[in-house]
Amino acid sequence: MTQEHHRKIIHIDMDAFFAAVEQRDCPAYRNRPIIVGGSPDARGVVATCSYEARRYGIHSAMPSARAYQLCPDAIFIKPRFDAYKEASVQIRKIFADYSELVEPLSLDEAYLDVSNASVLQGSATLIAKAVKEKIKQDVGLIASAGVSYNKFLAKLASDMDKPDGFYLITPQQGPEFAEKLSVSKFHGIGKVTAGKMQALGIKTGKDLRRLSLLSLQQHFGKSAAHYYHICRGIDHRPVNGNRTTKSVGVETTFQQDITSRQEILGYLQELLEKALQRAADKQLVAYTLTVKIKYHNFIQITRSRTLPYMITKADELLEELIKNTDIGKSSVRLLGITLSSLENKQTGIRFQQTDLFRDY
């Protein structure tokens, strides 16, 4: 048995997290189709929805107007991020009771490495079930859990039996499980890549396994090694308990397109101030500023600049970044700001890699 097979990884994924918090906090919302996100009479999108709403074919990232067409009786709720963050903090405290190696992926999901856990006889199955029950009792929310010997399979497992699910993939089951799975279900393979694979006759993990590493490299470049391993149930990535915020981003979609250059600059300045405040809350300063613009025709561009000094209000820099764009000529439906090349104020450690965290 390989060293990887000795690992015990749990993936916890909260079920319909935002909607579940709303239903927990407001009894009138329980057992009702709840949609958290933008208004259906604007250009909003669905951030998440309750399982009652999902029965109508509603899903995350769907335009709210379309969600309303599918379910006119749905209750649309503006997101309450403070409430979701508070619940997330409570959940992470529960994780810490069972493992020192916890890697949060977002507010509502995380990996736990319990390979060396002493609680509950070191059983990943017992720990996962205990975490689920503790979240239910202490936070009033439902989680699904996947258990396996690596991150890739643990994450797949947590999706197998939702909601309130538990699924175990053992080292003996891993390779066969990956072989039978549709490539479109593999985390890390998006729609475009899945389509390319389908065109090559690759529909399942078993089909993918027939290709050599060299052949995969010819078709998929740098991602080839990852695909070569995951179709065999192999994933050596460790659970990283020291993940750092590598960027901070905010964006806004307008109910009506805007064209005025000064109005756009005003919105960008507001977004920048919001992003700077978020960075300051994390004791971070930034040296790279990126502006994101999506025009009325859905064409999207970004403009970035890295400075030798930390970014503050940067009015002139914003002017410079939008200088050679169609701002003032074409109407705009979305604006975004991302701060990266972050540095910890206390340690002086710089985090260079961009990793966008955005508003829902």
pLDDT value of position 243: 63
What's the mean pLDDT when you consider all of the chain? 87
Question: Residues 251, 347: one domain?
Answer: yes
166-225 pLDDT, tens digit per residue, is 999 999 999 999 999 999 888 778 888 888 899 999 999 999 999 999 999 998 888 889
Residue-level pLDDT at 278: 83
List CB contacts of 224: < 8 A, sequence separation 6 or more.
Answer: 213, 216, 217
Same-domain check for residues 213 and 298: no
Q: Which whole number is the average pLDDT over 111-140?
A: 94
Whether the per-residue pLDDT at 349 is higher than 50: the answer is no
Percentage of the chain beyond pLDDT 90 is 51
Residue 216 lies inside a defined structural domain of this protein: yes
- What separation, in Å, do the N-terminal and C-terminal C-alpha atoms of the chain show? 42
Sign of dihedral through CA atoms 177, 135, 111, 20?
A: positive
Catalytic residue among 103, 109, 179, 251: 109
Residue 161 lies in a domain: no
For residues 3-29, give the mean pLDDT.
Answer: 91
CATH of the domain at 224: 1.10.150.20
Helix, strand or coil, per DSSP, at residue 101: strand
| Cβ–Cβ under 8 Å, residues 123 and 155 | no
Q: Is 270 in the active site? A: no
Give dist(CA 150, CA 157) in Å, integer.
Answer: 11
Residue 39: CATH number of its domain: 3.40.1170.60
pLDDT value for 184: 87
Quick: pLDDT tens for 38-84. Answer: 888 867 889 899 999 999 999 988 889 999 999 999 999 998 988 99
DSSP 312: S
Whether residue 126 is found in the same domain as residue 145 = yes
282-303 pLDDT per residue, tens: 778 888 999 999 998 888 899 9
Residues 269 and 284 in one domain: yes
Domain assignment present for residue 339? The answer is: yes
> For 210-311, where are the alpha helices, taking DSSP H only?
213-220, 224-230, 261-281
* Predicted pLDDT at 356: 33
Residue 208 lies in a domain: yes
Tokens of 61: 């990232």
Q: Grade residue 248 by pLDDT with cuts at 50, 70 and 90.
A: confident
pLDDT of 88 > 70? The answer is yes
In total, how many domains does the chain have?
Answer: 4
Please tell me whether residues 293 and 308 are part of one structural domain.
Answer: yes
Whether residue 86 is predicted with pLDDT greater than 50 in this model: the reply is yes
Which structural domain, as residue segments, surrounds residue 310?
247-351
The answer to whether residue 24 scores a pLDDT higher than 90 is yes
List phi, psi (to 5°) of 214. Answer: -65, -45
- pLDDT surpassing 90 at residue 5: no
Mark 167-193 as b/e (b = at least 16 C-beta within 10 Å): bbbebeebbebbbebebeebeebeeeb
What is the pLDDT confidence band of residue 348, given thresholds at 50, 70 and 90?
A: very low
**What predicted TM-score, i.e. pTM, was given to this entire model?**
0.71
Looking at the DSSP bridge assignments, the partners of residue 144 are: 13
Residue 72 sits in the same domain as residue 119: no
**pLDDT score of 133 more than 70:** yes
Which range, of 8-22, 32-46, 88-102, 233-247, averages the lowest pLDDT? 233-247
pLDDT for res 353: 38
- The pLDDT score that the predictor gives to residue 167 is 96
Edge-to-edge strands of the sheet including 9-14? 101-106, 109-113, 9-14, 143-148, 166-168
Segment 323-333 mean pLDDT: 88
Q: Identify which has the larger pLDDT, 346 or 135.
A: 135
327 shares a domain with 204: no
Average pLDDT of span 100-124: 90
Q: Is the dihedral of CA 206, 146, 95, 51 positive or negative?
A: positive
